[in-house]
Amino acid sequence: MIDVYTAATGNGLRAAIVLAESGLPHTVHKIDLEKGDQKTPAFLEMNPAARIPVIVDRGAAGGPLTLTESTAILIYVAEKSGKLLPSEPHARARALEAVANAMTDLYAPFNGLFNLHHGGRTPPSQIAQGFDGLIRDVLGRIDGRLATSEWLAGDFSIADIALYPTLGRLESVLKRTYPELKNLQRWAKAMAARPGVQLGSSLAGRP
Ligand SMILES: N[C@@H](CCC(=O)N[C@@H](CS)C(=O)NCC(=O)O)C(=O)O
């Protein structure tokens, strides 16, 4: 049984969705970031950085494991379940490449923009435009890839789970929409229709 401590943020949703999609037995513990649940002594013992998501796998090979970092959680859950990552070396490398692209080239500028807007602030337009340009470039390339592939990297994988919450947060929090990226829109609809995506999102706190 894996315990996941999470919330309805991009990183939190990735952890909840990958567990729901993996089929591994797990329990979701919602952390109220506004209330400061992540700063309690019990939480800080799991993650001194006071950040979600965290998983605790008491049944891990080699002994109990407490793991932070949503990217590491994606890979750990995929490997433990034997699902969500191809085993063929080239396909696996391509899937991990797409995970890295979603987490560094897309999530990083999204997070920069999110922090600039935090607390209702209006960031200097030149800086916001810089982040928006980086985000649009990455999404444009992803849209191109999705023109010939149903999912981001061959079969459905953690690459799709890495990307999806960031696109959702761009739309719901930052009000950025990309209707012209038709392949991306088709993919986002297919993601939203997956029972695992729906279950993970609702358990983490998203309606
Ligand atoms: N690199 C970490 C980042 C985790 C992170 O930034 N978590 C945020 C929510 S998305 C958090 O817990 N923030 C705590 C707070 O707002 O006090 C990951 O990918 O998991």
Domain boundaries, the chain: 2-83+197-204, 89-194
Alpha helices in 49-106 (DSSP H): 70-81, 89-100
Per-residue confidence (pLDDT) for residue 119, from 0 to 100: 79
The angle at the Cα of 161, spanning 159 to 164, to the nearest 5 degrees, equals 110
For a substitution probing ligand 1, which of 4, 5, 6, 11 has the most ligand atoms within 8 Å of its CB?
A: 11
Per-residue confidence (pLDDT) for residue 207, from 0 to 100: 54
51 CA closest ligand 1 atom index: 12
Q: Is 11 in the pocket of ligand 1 (CB under 6 A)?
A: yes
Question: Ligand 1 centre from 11 Cα, in Å?
Answer: 7
By alpha-carbon position, which residue is closest to atom 14 of ligand 1?
Answer: 51
Distance CA 95, CA 200 (A): 21
One pLDDT digit (tens) per residue for the chain, 207 residues: 999 999 999 999 999 999 999 999 999 999 999 999 999 999 999 999 999 999 999 999 999 999 999 999 999 999 999 999 999 999 999 999 999 999 999 999 999 999 998 878 887 888 899 999 999 999 999 999 999 999 999 999 999 999 999 999 999 999 999 999 999 999 999 999 999 999 999 999 865
Q: Is 70 in the pocket of ligand 1 (CB under 6 A)?
A: yes
Residues in the chain, overall count: 207
Q: Are 17 and 196 in contact (CB under 8 A)?
A: yes
CATH class of 2-83+197-204: alpha beta
Question: Ligand 1 centre from 73 Cα, in Å?
Answer: 13
Per-residue confidence (pLDDT) for residue 136, from 0 to 100: 98
31 CA closest ligand 1 atom index: 12
Question: Ligand 1 centre from 38 Cα, in Å?
Answer: 10
Question: Ligand 1 centre from 9 Cα, in Å?
Answer: 8
Question: Ligand 1 centre from 201 Cα, in Å?
Answer: 17
Query: String of b and e for 15-33 (b: at least 16 CB within 10 Å)?
Result: bbbbbbbbebebebebbeb
The angle at the Cα of 17, spanning 44 to 128, to the nearest 5 degrees, equals 75
pTM confidence score: 0.96
Question: Ligand 1 centre from 52 Cα, in Å?
Answer: 5
Residue 9 is given by DSSP the state: S
CATH numeric code, 89-194: 1.20.1050.10
